[in-house]
Amino acid sequence: MRISELSRKTGVSVPTIKFYIREGLLPAGHLTSPTQAEYDEQHLRRLRLIRALIGVRGLSVEATRQVLGALSEEQSQPHRVLGLALGAIRISEEPPEEFEQLATVDALLEELGWQVHHDAPARGVLAETLAGLQQLGTALDWHTLLPYARLAEETARLDLDQLEGVADPLELAERAIVLTTLLEPALMALRRLAQEHESSQRHND
Amino acid sequence: MRISELSRKTGVSVPTIKFYIREGLLPAGHLTSPTQAEYDEQHLRRLRLIRALIGVRGLSVEATRQVLGALSEEQSQPHRVLGLALGAIRISEEPPEEFEQLATVDALLEELGWQVHHDAPARGVLAETLAGLQQLGTALDWHTLLPYARLAEETARLDLDQLEGVADPLELAERAIVLTTLLEPALMALRRLAQEHESSQRHND
């Protein structure tokens, strides 16, 4: 396909596609004449993934380059592909933030029996939440999180079900990012609406 | 208690407390001498709620004033208190954003059998998500959201369980905000970690 069709199929503008090619994120097309290049399905999948990493996950061009590089080395292992796509595996050299509450988070993860990377950024988010709850003087602590974690397991099963049967690693990575990131506000909105419904049921008005 | 103790118990600085009093969000203390004022439990609860509305929900002083005003009229009805605290009930005159996908959201809510306000902001968030999924050309649509919504019901039941037995309307409002808003990043982090665990289980590495 021509670059214009690639643009139409992905919603990424032609100048942006050219920018990604100059930056080395996307390989150049196959020249069919000095001024014409052809793009194939592999370009399409890679461009969709770039769009997800930059547009949906909000990564910089440099971070996207690193993820794409790491992905091409690990593409035969779906678990590694998902970890890289979703940021569970850190690729930058930046050390993770340290919170006092990380030890509590580890206790929670052990209780749950979850196998996760020791430096998964989500661990820091949990530690930060626990610090925030403590600072506000609430009675909520990590035990409060346990039943929520069990529901998160069921949510994750639904997520992984949506990705079953996707064999191409680039497509798997892209779909995982879209599903995980784009659904976040929707899941929080569903929780708000469900709270309202549940509250109306309990308080009978 | 003195203003200094009120400050210590809430983590809100003395100048900020004085600002809230000048703005009419918090009633002045009871003067015990021309330069000394006493504050009671009601001040403490109200200040905690103000802190939650401004610091946790991120409302402006003006919006906080409106919520507090509406709350004082509705404090005998827990369902209304929760709706106001969590923003399910709009108090501003601003019309809700209109998305083409709102009709689809209504179909989803009807399928779920949820009783929610017609102008709940969360409806707009769902419509926006559906628009985003469509724009990216994914196969995900509102049917994808149904099983997630069932899990959101269970999450909401856990949330409401945490608020059972809280009789004071100001305390109920404050706890609902803290629980709902502060747990949001934690719930998303638990989903990420659960995905990683589930992926390692399924892909066996």
Residuewise pLDDT in 10s, chain B (205 residues): 999 999 998 889 999 999 999 999 999 999 999 888 999 999 999 999 999 899 888 888 998 999 999 988 888 888 888 888 888 776 665 666 677 888 999 999 999 999 898 878 888 889 988 888 888 877 778 888 999 999 999 999 999 999 998 888 999 999 999 888 889 989 999 999 999 999 999 887 5
Contact yes or no for B140 and A162 at CB 8 A: yes
Contact yes or no for B189 and A80 at CB 8 A: no
Contact yes or no for B185 and A117 at CB 8 A: no
pLDDT band at residue A95, thresholds of 50, 70 and 90?
Answer: low
Contact yes or no for B196 and A114 at CB 8 A: yes
User: Is the separation of the CB atoms in A152 and B193 below 8 Å?
Assistant: yes
Contact yes or no for B125 and A77 at CB 8 A: no
pLDDT band at residue A161, thresholds of 50, 70 and 90?
Answer: very high
Q: Which chain B residue's Cα is nearest to A48?
A: B136
Query: Chain B contacts of A114, Cβ < 8 Å?
Result: 193-194, 196-197
Q: Which chain A residue's Cα is nearest to B114?
A: A197
B146 φψ region: left (φ > 0), alpha (ψ -120 to 50), beta (else): alpha
Is B96 within the bounds of a domain? yes
Q: Which chain A residue's Cα is nearest to B128?
A: A186
Is B4 within the bounds of a domain? no
Contact yes or no for A83 and B116 at CB 8 A: no
pLDDT at A134: 83
What distances in angstroms separate CA B17 from CA A87, A120, B50, B174, one per listed residue?
41, 39, 10, 17
Contact yes or no for B144 and A162 at CB 8 A: yes
Query: Chain B contacts of A201, Cβ < 8 Å?
Result: 115
pLDDT at A149: 96
What distances in angstroms separate CA A123 from CA A48, A90, A101, one per listed residue?
29, 12, 10
pLDDT at B84: 87
pLDDT band at residue A205, thresholds of 50, 70 and 90?
Answer: low
Of A129, A151, A201, the CB nearest to B155: A151
Q: Which chain A residue's Cα is nearest to B179?
A: A140
Of A115, A152, A202, the CB nearest to B191: A152
Q: Which chain B residue's Cα is nearest to A147?
A: B158
Mutation test of the interface with chain B: which of A193, A197, A201, choosing the one with the most B Cβ atoms within 10 A?
Answer: A193
**Residue B73 Cα, gap to closest chain A Cα (Å):** 16
Task: Compute the C-alpha angle A97/A64/A13, nearest 5°.
Answer: 135
Burial zone of B26 (CB within 10 Å; 0-12 exposed, 13-18 middle, 19+ buried): buried
Query: Chain B contacts of A136, Cβ < 8 Å?
Result: 11, 51-52, 56, 178, 182
Query: Chain A contacts of B199, Cβ < 8 Å?
Result: 78-79, 82-83, 160
Q: How many domains does chain A have?
A: 1
Of A70-84, A132-146, A183-197, B82-96, the one with minimum mean pLDDT is B82-96
What percent of chain A has a predicted confidence (pLDDT) above 90?
49
Is A113 within the bounds of a domain? yes
Contact yes or no for A189 and B109 at CB 8 A: no
Interface contacts A/B by beta carbons within 8 Å: 250
Is B164 within the bounds of a domain? yes
pLDDT at A59: 87
Contact yes or no for B144 and A125 at CB 8 A: no
Is A93 within the bounds of a domain? yes
pLDDT at A94: 61
In terms of pTM, does the model score above 0.90?
no
**Residue B33 Cα, gap to closest chain A Cα (Å):** 31
Cα dihedral A88/A91/A97/A99 (nearest 10) = 40
Is A164 within the bounds of a domain? yes
Is A10 within the bounds of a domain? no
Cα dihedral A150/A155/A157/A160 (nearest 10) = -140
Is B78 within the bounds of a domain? yes
B30 φψ region: left (φ > 0), alpha (ψ -120 to 50), beta (else): beta
pLDDT at A7: 93
**Tens digits of per-residue pLDDT, A13-70?**
999 999 999 999 999 999 999 888 999 999 999 999 999 899 888 888 998 999 999 9
pLDDT at A78: 87
**Tens digits of per-residue pLDDT, B8-43?**
988 899 999 999 999 999 999 999 998 889 999 999
Q: Residue B93 belongs to what domain range?
A: 40-203
User: Is the separation of the CB atoms in B129 and A178 below 8 Å?
Assistant: no
pLDDT at B182: 85
Query: Chain B contacts of A186, Cβ < 8 Å?
Result: 125-126, 129, 145, 148
**Residue A65 Cα, gap to closest chain B Cα (Å):** 21
